[in-house]
A = this chain, B = another copy of it.
Amino acid sequence: MKTLIAGVDGYLGWALALRLLSKGHQVIGIDNFYTRKAVKEVGSDSALPIGSFHQRIRGLPKDKMSKIALYKADVTDYGRLKKIISKYRPDSIVDFAEQRSAPYSMRSRETASHTLSNNIIGTLNFIYAIKEINREIHFLKMGTMGEYGTPNFDIPESTFIEASINGKTDRIITPKYAGSWYHWSKVYDTDNLIFANKIWGLTTTDIMQGPVYGTRTSEITDSRLFTRFDFDETWGTVLNRYCVEAVLGMPLTPYGSGGQTRAFLSLEDSVTALSLLLENPPASGNYRTVNQFTETYSVLELANIVQERASALGLKTEIKNVDNPRVEAETHYYNPERKILPGLGLKGPTKNLKDEIEVIIKDLLPYKNRLEKHRSVIAPKTNWRA
């Protein structure tokens, strides 16, 4: 199998590349190296040091090294994108090359505009490239469970759903209600892909993924293979941020009351899920929507678990709820369906959350001094209401 990964230098991109290589697949990676720059711009850095992309590739065994090609490219540059896809004619394309931060998108008009246009036009370019080069290429779009918001209905794992409205029944696109420009940009990608599927039959897997946590996968066995790990208010996700807070002896900071329930999964399970979906594409011309997560927790529950595991490792931490910078319900119903990945063999979390937190903290501890420098970028400063 030949897979093009856009955003191969990122948290998931690199981890997925390693998994696909270890399964003997061929990888074509593209990246514009935007995240490295953007994280530095907010005064932060990856908690775990990572080499340049070429250093990383040179760290691989020879047989794997020969199976990965890298291009510096921006997905909004259609000419270049089309050239690379035409050259390799991959079986599948995974798109991680999107602006991926909700707080970044809410910072200013400029960041909102960049998020919407970068993400929408990037996906549109893939749509046209696939349509023009080979309509059989399987496109995997990385979306987010955040596209749904927190509805009162059970979040179905399906592109369309039957709904009854004022006494009449119709098959509608599964309703979405996003909570930031970033999340909306993902909804628009979804709608554009549904439309492209309708008119051109593009084979699509639309992944609604929950926040990912963790430092390790079966392939990331030593520090030379580390994937990036962000923890600042802009680029970090909640559980990773808690772990850094614990290492630094800072209070764990759930936003608001912490009752926000989300669907999580470990980095290991994320790359397992992605490979399963790539190796088992939908039938040609089909559109498959997948809810990609293994467990649901409230962000306060997670803080409690991190506190307990940190304590077992001799790290004392408090939990200190901070004013919620976001506009979101802190008490709500949440029941997403999860059938497709278990059907493909991903039965549940393959690692215990508590053990995984211990692994993360242990991985971070040697870099405590590195993290100290970035204390000030962890607390939320981007306010949705401002």
Contact = CB atoms under 8 A, between A and B. Distances in A.
Interface string A118-150: 001100110010000000000000000000000
Nearest to A333: B168
Contacts of A222: none
Contact of A163 (B112, B124, B156, B164): B164
A47 interface: no
A165 B163 contact: yes
- Which one of A165, A166, A173 has the highest number of Cβ atoms from chain B below 10 Å of its Cβ? A165
Contacts of A172: 151, 163, 175, 177
A179 to B, nearest CB: 8
A16 interface: no
B166 A164 contact: no
Interface stretch (A64-72, A187-195, A356-364): A187-195
Interface in A148-176: 151-154, 156, 161-166, 168-170, 172-173, 175-176
Contact of A198 (B124, B128, B192, B327): B327
A121 B128 contact: no
B187 A163 contact: no
Interface residues of A, number: 45
Contacts of A125: 109, 113
A116 interface: yes
Contacts of A52: none
A384 interface: yes
Nearest to A191: B184
A385 B116 CA distance: 26
Contacts of A113: 78, 121, 124-125
Contact of A165 (B162, B179, B200): B162
A192 B152 CA distance: 22
Contact of A195 (B154, B178, B195): B178
Given A166-B161, A172-B177, A124 B153 contact: no
25 contacts: A78-B109, A112-B128, A116-B124, A117-B121, A120-B120, A120-B188, A152-B169, A153-B165, A153-B169, A154-B165, A154-B166, A154-B168, A156-B166, A163-B172, A163-B175, A165-B175, A172-B175, A173-B176, A178-B195, A179-B195, A184-B191, A198-B327, A199-B327, A199-B384, A199-B385
Shortest beta-carbon contacts, A-B, top 8 = A109-B128, A152-B170, A153-B165, A164-B164, A172-B175, A153-B168, A163-B163, A199-B327
